[in-house]
Amino acid sequence: MHSGLSIIEENYLKAIYKLQQMDGRVSTNELASEMGTSAASATDMIKKLSNKAVIQYEKYYGVQLTTYGANLAIQLVRRHRLWEVFLHDKLGYSWEKVHDLAEELEHVNIHDLADRLDAYLGHPKSDPHGDPIPDGSGQLPKTDYIKIDELRERDSFEIKGIVDSDAKFLNYLTERNLGIGCKLRLISIDAYAETYEVLIEATHQSLVWTKRIAQNILIKKT
């Protein structure tokens, strides 16, 4: 259960996992920027994680998680998201607040804490931001969410997830009564301005999404 990694090493590991999702290979600069440190510090840490067999490292080439490292990362993500569910569902925190708290709680990993928490929460499939929660064996529930650019005018849809849940974006959504499970309809597409006019079914409120905003929202056609 105990990973042999320090809290800081675990945070780097999670960052590598996140970047690898998108890019495959992770460069020193990418990692440094994600962690908010210097490239020199990232190089130092890369060497440490490499010595612990968590990542595979080739000089001037970048890093990749080993199978072992990927497993550790997924369990870390699992704990993070389970804590987010706890904080949101049981303690009533808003989805903007849960991330910072889970960022600390995720590092507690003794006994079978994650499994007990999972059972207590009723084996949730996704966290408050719509991100899928890996099961005990590291399996991620398969989702088939799309983005709004795959819809046609007058299609109905539901918000299912957020690509990058940074606090400012979550706040933007909350202020406009948008959240996971929210039902909407695509009213019109402005192809030149690259904007989408949508209507919230519940309130009949109408909004315009720029491409940048729309690309950050995962949906399902209904």
Partner DNA sequence: AAAAATATTTAGACTAGGCTAAATATTTTT
Partner DNA sequence: AAAAATATTTAGCCTAGTCTAAATATTTTT
88 binds Mn ion (CB under 5 A): no
- Least distance to its own copies from the beta carbon of 139, Å? 23
CA distances 106 to 64, 98, 110, 118, Å, are: 22, 12, 11, 13
Could you give the strand order of the β-sheet that contains 156-162, starting from the edge strand earlier in sequence?
205-210, 195-200, 183-190, 156-162, 217-221
41 binds DNA (CB under 7 A): yes
- Least distance to its own copies from the beta carbon of 110, Å? 6
Inter-axis angle of helices 113-120 and 67-85, to 10 degrees?
40
Judged by CB under 7 A, the residue of 54, 62, 72, 128 near DNA is 62
159-176: burial string, b at 16+ Cβ within 10 Å, e else: bbbbeebeeebbeebeee
- Gyration radius of the chain's alpha carbons: 19
Judged by CB under 5 A, the residue of 9, 34, 89, 103 near Mn ion is 103
- Least distance to its own copies from the beta carbon of 221, Å? 37
Max Cα separation, the chain?
A: 57
- Least distance to its own copies from the beta carbon of 196, Å? 34
Span of 22-30, 125-133, 138-146, 192-200 interacting with DNA by CB under 7 A: 22-30
Q: Would you call 63 helix, strand, or coil by DSSP?
A: strand
Q: Where in 24-43 is the site for its own copies (CB under 8 A)?
A: none
Span of 21-29, 98-106, 136-144, 198-206 interacting with DNA by CB under 7 A: 21-29
85 by Cβ neighbours in 10 Å (0-12 / 13-18 / 19+) ranks as buried
118 binds Mn ion (CB under 5 A): no
Span of 40-48, 73-81, 89-97, 154-162 interacting with DNA by CB under 7 A: 40-48
Name the token pair of 94.
Answer: 């808003």
Name the token pair of 76.
Answer: 């870390």
Name the token pair of 136.
Answer: 């005990």
Span of 17-25, 52-60, 111-119, 170-178 interacting with its own copies by CB under 8 A: 111-119
Q: Beta partners for 218?
A: 161
Amino acid at position 3, single letter: S
Span of 24-32, 38-46, 85-93, 145-153 interacting with its own copies by CB under 8 A: 85-93
127 binds Mn ion (CB under 5 A): yes
> Where on the chain is the footprint of its own copies (CB under 8 A)?
90-93, 97, 100-101, 104-105, 107-108, 110-111, 113, 116-117, 120
> Where on the chain is the footprint of Mn ion (CB under 5 A)?
11, 84, 103, 127, 129, 131
